[in-house]
Chains A and B, each alone.
Chain A
Amino acid sequence: MKDKNSRKHPEAWADRFKQLRADNSSEIARDEFILDLAKSLQEKEKAPLLWAKIENNLREEKQSKAVTFFRPHLLLRVAAVFILVIGTGVLWQKFSAPQISNSRILSKNTLQKVISTEKSYEAAIAELEKLASPKIEKMELELMFLYRDKLAIIDEQIEQCREELSENPGNAHIRRYMLAALQDKKETLQEIVQNAI
């Protein structure tokens, strides 16, 4: 019943349609005809100026975002960021610093294992960074900033841990914190490599 020519020629479509009706054909045959005809509706759409319009829209949107950031709520935003930074610092001092001296100290063997795990994370991160960097560069600005911000925060956490560990290498709490940060960084880089456009 299916006629490949009917996909291109209206006369053939009409003949096939006529035949199907005359034969009192099955539902399946009629469905096939409808699906074939529907596929033929997948013609190429032409909109040569559309991307230019979209690009203009996106640029305007980007500019208006920049303007709204710097105008009405500037003081509020700056204050919020300031409070966040100070708050994070205070919390870090309050909860992290005292625990360093009080935490359980890792045994030599356990410490070796933890350091080895950290190294394997660092090696994976180094490989992933090579793959992720070009992908981040190609991302749309807003998405790129989101990822860079996230990675910068994680890097800061890792750096703080390293500073603390240089003085207290066996501190279990800081080592756990360090492993969590490394794992977070690895997962974020994997996400970029696997899913970025």
Chain B
Amino acid sequence: MQAFENLYRAYEQQLLSTAHRMLGNTQDAEDAVQLAFLKLYRNIGKFKFKSKISTYLFRILLNVCFDQMKKKKQKITYQQQPVPMSYSEKPDLKLHLEKAIAALPEKMQACFVLFAIQDLKQEEISQILDMKIGTVKAHIFAAKAKLRATFFESLPGETV
């Protein structure tokens, strides 16, 4: 149990933050991390030490997130979401970006979250998501293009 606790303490922030960005709320993120650890425990015998255990854990977590997203069908198109205004009647840019990220297709969203928010290397992302590194690069490139378009073109200029 000590090894699992060490692993949890080492990656707690990154795991929760990743799950939060993927699922959109704290409660679902905590549930996902909890389930990821249970799955890691059940499958630890299958781990062959060919990658870092943190990579294996992130892979499990993202699969849990993808499952939850499919179950809830919570992908909402960006256009459907109102952009909340802050107290100063200006759009909340962070929230705006969070919602734009949440509206990306699943794999693209995962690549962008791991790359831009969690600061992971593209090679590690390719291991976590079991994709070729070229695919990861393409997803990140496409994510940036989509975000650029939605982010800079959708907000009404006068409110900023």
Give the B-binding residues of A (Cβ under 8 A): 10-11, 13-14, 17-18, 20-21, 27, 30-31, 34-35, 37-45, 47, 50-51, 53-55, 57-59, 61, 138-143, 146, 191, 195, 197
Q: A30-B151, A45-B26 are in contact. List 18 more A-B contacts (CB 8 A).
A: A10-B92, A10-B93, A35-B116, A37-B94, A38-B97, A39-B116, A41-B21, A41-B94, A41-B97, A45-B12, A45-B16, A47-B26, A50-B30, A140-B2, A140-B3, A140-B4, A143-B3, A195-B49
Are A21's CB and B44's CB within 8 A? no
Specify which chain A residues have a CB less than 8 angstroms from the CB of B9 in the assembled complex: 51
Are A146's CB and B45's CB within 8 A? yes
Specify which chain A residues have a CB less than 8 angstroms from the CB of B152 in the assembled complex: 20-21, 30
Stretch at the interface among B35-43, B62-70, B74-82: B35-43
Of the candidates B6, B49, B93, the one whose C-beta lies within 8 Å of that of A13 is B93
Specify which chain A residues have a CB less than 8 angstroms from the CB of B30 in the assembled complex: 47, 50, 53
A36 CB → nearest B CB, Å: 9
A183 CB → nearest B CB, Å: 18
Are B13's CB and A61's CB within 8 A? no
Chain A binding surface SS class: helix
Are B144's CB and A42's CB within 8 A? no
Please, how many angstroms separate the alpha-carbon atoms of A54 and B34 in the complex?
5
Specify which chain A residues have a CB less than 8 angstroms from the CB of B26 in the assembled complex: 45, 47
Please, how many angstroms separate the alpha-carbon atoms of A122 and B11 in the complex?
38
Are B1's CB and A140's CB within 8 A? yes
Specify which chain B residues have a CB less than 8 angstroms from the CB of A61 in the assembled complex: 38, 41-42
Are B157's CB and A21's CB within 8 A? yes
B147 within 8 A of A: yes
Q: How many A-B Cβ pairs are below 8 Å?
A: 126
Are B4's CB and A21's CB within 8 A? no
Specify which chain B residues have a CB less than 8 angstroms from the CB of A27 in the assembled complex: 148
Are A138's CB and B17's CB within 8 A? no
Specify which chain A residues have a CB less than 8 angstroms from the CB of B53 in the assembled complex: 195, 197
Are A58's CB and B49's CB within 8 A? no
Q: Which of B93, B98, B148 has the most CB of A within 10 A?
A: B93
If A38-B97, A39-B119 touch, does A57 touch B17 (CB 8 Å cutoff)?
A: no
Are A138's CB and B2's CB within 8 A? yes
Specify which chain B residues have a CB less than 8 angstroms from the CB of A40 in the assembled complex: 94
Are A51's CB and B116's CB within 8 A? no
The 9 closest A-B pairs by CB, nearest first: A45-B16, A38-B116, A140-B3, A195-B49, A18-B160, A54-B37, A197-B3, A13-B93, A30-B148
Specify which chain B residues have a CB less than 8 angstroms from the CB of A37 in the assembled complex: 93-94, 97
